A = this chain, B = another copy of it.
Amino acid sequence: MAKRLMPLLNRVLVEKIVPPAKTHAGILLPETSNKLNSGKVLAVGPGLRDKTGNHIPVAVKEGDTVLLPEYGGTTVKLGEKEYHLYRDEDIMGTLHD
């Protein structure tokens, strides 16, 4: 029943990265230990069009780990999982190890 979603315009489909609430050994981590609001980019739209009709490339690409804004975005439930749609201008940056 799960469908694949292709975002339109400059929208970006993101799966949020949920930090583990327990360590592998089962010790409960305090809630504030990792508040970085990050996600994995699953799909990006074709981009907005500029004044002459060309697509403006979306600022992130599939596979990027991104820093998300604290508010905003739209929650979408596809099958059993929850995803989020953001406009690319609302995504704050890409995260690298």
By the criterion CB–CB under 8 Å, are A93 and B11 in contact?
Answer: yes
Contact with B along A1-42 (1 / 0, CB 8 A): 101111111010100000000000000000000111000000
Known contacts A50-B52, A54-B53; A85 and B76 CB within 8 A of each other: no
Measured between beta carbons, the chain B residues less than 8 angstroms from A5 are: 67, 93-96
Nearest opposing residue in chain B for A36, CB measure = B77
Give the complex CA separation of A88 and B93 in angstroms.
Answer: 14
By the criterion CB–CB under 8 Å, are B96 and A36 in contact?
Answer: no
Please give the residue numbers on chain A whose beta carbons come within 8 Å of chain B beta carbons, in ascending order.
1, 3-9, 11, 13, 34-36, 45, 49-54, 56, 59-60, 65, 67, 69-70, 74, 76-78, 85, 88-89, 91-97
